[in-house]
Amino acid sequence: MPAAVAFDATGRPTASLVKKIRKRYHDAVDIDWVVRERLEVVEEGGKRTVKHRAELSSPGSLQVGLEAALEEVLAKLPIPKLMQYQLADGWTTVGFVRPAHGLVVLHGSDVVPVRALGLDAGRSTFGHRFEAARAPVLLRSADSYEAQLREEGAVIAGFAERRAEIVRQLNAASAAENLAPVDDEALVDEVTALVERPNVLACEF
């Protein structure tokens, strides 16, 4: 939730935040305790966002817990219309935004044998289709993910970093032409979600 929506001018939680907290916990929860112990305000792409952090007990092993969490996250993705496609066995149907071709699940340097969308987890992924230095990119560990994608795959993995780079290049290109970019935050977010490594071009017609 945006920090401006979560807190009022005095820093107190708004009705919107209180409603979200009570939905996540229960009506009698101590709101101040949740705000103090479980909420954190972070900067992402020039925006202040409130995030909830908590330790959850797993129903079993790391594999079981991750599979359950992944299944829950996939079910909650805001996809208005899923694409249905069959797996290689010719019988199993999977629903996702587009056919998924790979799944990476790492804990440190170890692959966690999770299965989702008909795929078995591994450490192999792909970077930019044309500019990657290596294909596939074999991830050494979870910690090396972003650096390897940048160096070997020519991809900026972090949304906030990609967005900031778009804004930086856009402002520079506009200033060089004595122009100002259109103020459209939603459009910048949309473009950020569409590109892997931003490169702003100045054109005219």
User: Where does the pLDDT of residue 153 fall: very low under 50, low under 70, confident under 90, or very high at 90 and above?
Assistant: very high
* Cis amide linkage into residue 136, ω under 30° from 0: yes
The arithmetic mean of pLDDT across residues 180-189, rounded, is 90
Q: Kindly indicate the confidence band of residue 60, based on its pLDDT and cuts at 50, 70 and 90.
A: low
At residue 21 the predicted structure's pLDDT band, cuts being 50, 70 and 90, is: confident
Residue 196 is predicted with a pLDDT of 92
Mean pLDDT computed over 2-9:
88
Using a pLDDT cut of 70, give the percent of the chain over it: 97
Q: What is the pLDDT of residues 141-152, one digit of tens each?
A: 999 999 999 999
User: Would you state the structure tokens that stand for residue 139, as one six-digit string?
Assistant: 């991830």
Alpha-carbon distance 150 to 198, whole Å?
12
Cβ atoms of 111 and 105 closer than 8 Å: yes
3-state secondary structure of 116: strand
Q: Is 65 helix (H, G, I), strand (E, B) or coil?
A: helix
CA–CA separation, 37 and 54 (whole Å): 9
Cβ contact 9:3 at 8 Å: no
pLDDT for residue 5 is more than 60: yes
Distance CA 13, CA 32 (A): 9
Q: First vs last Cα of the chain: how many Å apart?
A: 40
- Between 126 and 55, name the one with better pLDDT: 126
Mean pLDDT, rounded, for 34-44: 86
Burial of 122 from C-beta contacts in 10 A (0-12 / 13-18 / 19+): middle
User: Helices 185-194 and 159-176 meet at what angle, rounded to 10?
Assistant: 120
Mean predicted lDDT score pLDDT of the chain: 88
Task: Please list, in sequence order, all residues whose beta carbon lies within 8 angstroms of the beta carbon of residue 142, skipping any fewer than 6 positions away.
Answer: 106, 107, 108, 109
